[in-house]
Structure formats: C-alpha cells, structure tokens
Chain A
Amino acid sequence: MNDSLDPRVNRLRLDKNDGSFKVEEGENWNVFEVFHQEKRGAHHEHVGCVHAPDANLALIFAKEQFGRRKKCVNLWVVRSADILAFDLEDEDMFANNPDKTYRDASGFKVMEKINKFKAHTK
C-alpha cells in the first residue's frame, strides 16, 4: 500500500488488515430519542436521536450532537422503544376537531347579544 499523506495513518500498519472484520448486530447499542429545551420555561422539543448503551451515556452523546450550537439549557432522552404513539393511519380520528367550535372562544358571540340588549334598552 502507498504511504498515506497522514503520518498517523501510516503508524496504524493498515496492511496488516485481513479484511474479515464485521460489526455484529446490536453492537451499536440502542436508540434514544432526544428532546431539547431552548430556554428555561419553554417546552422540550424532539430534535432527533442517538445510539447509546444506556440513558446516562445517551445524555452525553445528545449534548455533543444537539447542544453544539444555538441556545440550549436542558436535554431529555428516552428510549425509542418506550414511546407509544398512534398509528399515522389513524389520523382521521382527529379530523373533526376544528368543527367543534363549542370548545373554542370563537364559538361564542357575546358582543352580538350585548349590542342587541343595549339597542333594546335605549
């Protein structure tokens, strides 16, 4: 093999490599979802995930990966397997939310009634 431009690479004696090495399934540990808090008082927001052997190390990796730039005051991690979510296919069960105006301030027209009352009592 030709000499590398990098003396550190030359010191590795890479020609001794027989090429049979394989990574085993599971060797890169479990997956943790990461939640980032931009400032005290704000919600934690999902920003991505990391691979780690346990939650403590997941936090350290999350700091390296997601706390490198911009403001960050806190991070959460939780194992991906522990997240319970609805199927995306069931999206239709939320479909009529906007129709239920009785759960909204805009569903109540008090001024109309007040104005009518004032007009009537003049």
Chain B
Amino acid sequence: MYGGGYIFDEPNRKQQREEQLHDDPEKLAAFEARIARGEKIEPGDWMPAEYRRQLIRLIEQHAHSEIIGALPEGTWITRAPGFKRKLALIAKVQDEVGHGQLLYNAAETLGKSREAMINDLLSGKSKYSNVFNYPAETWADVTVIGFLIDAAAIVNQVANSKGSYGPYCRALERICYEESFHLKQGHDAFIELATGTPAQKAMLQDALNRWWQPIMHFFGPPDKTSNHSEKLMQWKVKMASNDDMRNQFLDAYVPKIWELGLTLPDPLLRKNPDTGKWEYSDPDWDLFFEVIKGNGPCNKERLDVRKWAEEHGRWIRKALMRPEEMERSALPVA
C-alpha cells in the first residue's frame, strides 16, 4: 500500500531554506538538467539540500505508512472469514511490512538512519498516511481498505515510480508488482459482499459510507491551498498534483463501485461531461488536519502498539548482536 499523496511538512523550515541558498548554482543547474533529461539521481550524486530533505520526508512517511497500515488489517487475520481469505490477508500484511523495509532502505541511502526514522515515528515528529488513524470495525472495512485504499495508493505509487530518485523508483517497481495482488484480492472480497446477502450488502454499504471521507482525504488538500509543490514537480519528487491524482482515482474506481449497486455518501459526486473531470463536495479539511495532529480515533493506539513492539523486540535484537560485525557500519549503497 500506502503512499498517501499528502506528505506532512514541519512548520519551521527556515533552517533548510538557508541551506538551500548555499547550493552551488553550477551544480544545481547540472542537477536540474539531468532530471529534465529523464536521468535518475543515485545516492552518491550531488543533490540540493532541499531535494534530499524532501525525499527523506516523502520516503520515510511512505515507509511508516506501510508499517502502520499493517495494523488495522492485521487485527482481522484471526477473524477473516474462511481459510482462503485468512491466507491471503496474512500474505498481504507480510507484504506491507516488507514494503516498509524496502522503503526504509531507500530513505537510508539519503543519510538518515533506520533508528532515527523509527524514533521520529514513535515521537510523533514524522507522520504516516492519515487513513490508518481510523478503525477497521467490520470485515467489510477490510475489503474497503484492500480494494479502495490500495487502489488509491497504487495511483500514487505508479506516479512516484517515474520520479527522479533511483533507489525510490526501484523500490516502488517491486512494490507496485505486489500491490496488484492486494488490489485484486480486495476487489474480490468487496464484490463477494456486494453481491451477497442483504446483510452483507448493508455491512459493505455502511463501511463505504464511513470510509469515503478518509478516502477523499487520502490524496491531500486541494491544489488551490497547497503551496510549495512547483519545485518538487520540477525535481520529479512529486509527480502529479493532489487534485489530478484524486481525479484519476475517481475516474477509475467510482464506476466500479456504482456498477455493483452501491452508493457513495456525496450527492454532488459526478463526472462533468464537458470537462471530463470529477466534481465532489469538499471533505472536511479541518478534520483532516486535526487527525494529522494526533487527534484521530486511533492515532494513540497505533503508536502505542509500535512502541510496544520496539520495546519488547529489543532483547532479541541485542541477543543477536555481533559486536565485531558492527565495526564497519554503513548505509545501503543502492
């Protein structure tokens, strides 16, 4: 899953702006020319301080989202209906955790250690996709996550896999391949409820109603309120605007929901035949920022579970430690 379009930025970026002023203009021009030619940037290459900072922020939050995203679904492994669904859910959750590992590795090539990233997650400094601060109340929630949240993440990840930073692109190619299984198994479970008994249909409709707003939040605030994305687009860190990705998602998936006789809780939702763009009511963006700040229904539980896992895993990490192996500690090279 799970690279949300919205990447949280710290309010005070003054220091980094100062650093950016000191980028060598000649090197900066060569760097931007290389990206314009479609070449990839690799870990050892010169890069502007702001490019490095933004990429760490993007990839790290993507990694955290994979790890935290495994929690609401992991809850349902023991209760998944039937052996086949259980096996598929276990495989999917393990994939998500693996994606987290791939992404942490990609972020590490930029110079931030794995440990520093985990600490920033646990302290709340570094964020993850907002959708995982909502509870998965029923099995229908799991099918909505597996189908629609994964679909939204794929829209974002396919776009990002054409970005400029080599290690991130390579990680995303592998991730997108596995996501195609997640999407298919989610769609399959979703259809089974949608075409099932009246009780199953009602359960799915209820889950859809509750998840629609978080899904509309997923790609981040509308372009008209988003400020600093022009440079990021030029540097191919951000590959499409929030509104464009949201539109692409609606275009591909709203028909797949409607064709099953389900409804979406937005009376204004429609595709404008003249512009070819989707129109919709604005989701509650104040609520979105409130949940990012830590006040969603599950923020505390998610971080507490992560903290518990790190704390209780320490003894085995230490038991396996080989002091002589640690002498030449290094970051990944590719």
Which residues of A are interface residues toward B (Cβ below 8 A)?
Answer: 1-2, 4-6, 8-9, 12, 14, 17, 19, 21-31, 33, 46-51, 53-54, 57, 64-65, 68-69, 79-83, 85, 87-89
CA A64 to CA B94, docked complex, whole Å: 9
CA A46 to CA B105, docked complex, whole Å: 14
What would be 8 A-B contacts, judged by CB atoms less than 8 Å apart?
Answer: A4-B301, A8-B75, A9-B301, A23-B119, A29-B325, A31-B332, A48-B171, A88-B44
- B333 partner, pick from A2, A4, A85, beta carbons under 8 A: A85
**Binary interface encoding of chain B residues 157-200 relative to chain A, with 1 for a CB under 8 A from any of its CBs, else 0:** 00000000000001100100110000000000000000000000
Residue contact B44 to A79, C-beta cutoff 8 Å: no
Residue contact B115 to A24, C-beta cutoff 8 Å: yes
- A30 partner, pick from B78, B307, B326, beta carbons under 8 A: B326
A83, chain B: closest CB distance, angstroms: 5
Residue contact B136 to A53, C-beta cutoff 8 Å: no
Residue contact B101 to A9, C-beta cutoff 8 Å: no
- A29 partner, pick from B135, B317, B328, B331, beta carbons under 8 A: B317
Residue contact B305 to A31, C-beta cutoff 8 Å: no
Query: B286 on the interface (CB 8 Å rule)?
Result: no
Q: Which of A19, A22, A23, A28 lies at the interface centre, i.e. has the most chain B CB atoms within 10 A of its CB?
A: A23
CA A23 to CA B98, docked complex, whole Å: 20
Residue contact A28 to B334, C-beta cutoff 8 Å: no
A5, chain B: closest CB distance, angstroms: 5
What residue in chain A is nearest B124 (Cβ atoms)? A19
Query: B122 on the interface (CB 8 Å rule)?
Result: yes
CA A1 to CA B122, docked complex, whole Å: 17
Residue contact B329 to A53, C-beta cutoff 8 Å: no
List of A residues within 8 angstroms of B101 by Cβ: 50-51, 65
List of A residues within 8 angstroms of B305 by Cβ: 9, 12, 14
- A57 partner, pick from B119, B135, B171, B320, beta carbons under 8 A: B320
Residue contact A14 to B136, C-beta cutoff 8 Å: no
Query: B224 on the interface (CB 8 Å rule)?
Result: no
CA A65 to CA B332, docked complex, whole Å: 16
Residue contact B98 to A53, C-beta cutoff 8 Å: no
List of B residues within 8 angstroms of A23 by Cβ: 115, 118-119, 122, 310
For the complex with contacts A48-B174, A79-B328, A79-B330, 18 further pairs of A-B residues with Cβ separation under 8 Å are A1-B300, A1-B304, A2-B301, A4-B75, A5-B135, A5-B137, A21-B307, A23-B310, A26-B115, A27-B318, A31-B330, A48-B170, A49-B332, A50-B101, A50-B105, A53-B325, A65-B102, A85-B333
List of A residues within 8 angstroms of B274 by Cβ: none
Which residues of B are interface residues toward A (Cβ below 8 A)?
Answer: 42, 44-46, 74-75, 78, 94-95, 98, 101-102, 105, 108, 113-116, 118-119, 122, 135-137, 170-171, 174, 177-178, 300-301, 304-305, 307-308, 310-311, 314, 317-318, 320-322, 325-326, 328-334
A71, chain B: closest CB distance, angstroms: 14
CA A30 to CA B321, docked complex, whole Å: 10
- B114 partner, pick from A8, A28, A69, beta carbons under 8 A: A28
Residue contact A17 to B304, C-beta cutoff 8 Å: yes
List of B residues within 8 angstroms of A22 by Cβ: 119, 122
A34, chain B: closest CB distance, angstroms: 10
CA A43 to CA B19, docked complex, whole Å: 43
- A14 partner, pick from B44, B114, B304, B314, beta carbons under 8 A: B304
Residue contact A25 to B115, C-beta cutoff 8 Å: yes
Residue contact A28 to B317, C-beta cutoff 8 Å: yes
Residue contact B98 to A33, C-beta cutoff 8 Å: no
- B334 partner, pick from A25, A46, A64, beta carbons under 8 A: A46
Residue contact A27 to B314, C-beta cutoff 8 Å: yes
Residue contact A30 to B115, C-beta cutoff 8 Å: no
List of A residues within 8 angstroms of B308 by Cβ: 12, 14, 17
Residue contact B314 to A26, C-beta cutoff 8 Å: no
B191, chain A: closest CB distance, angstroms: 24
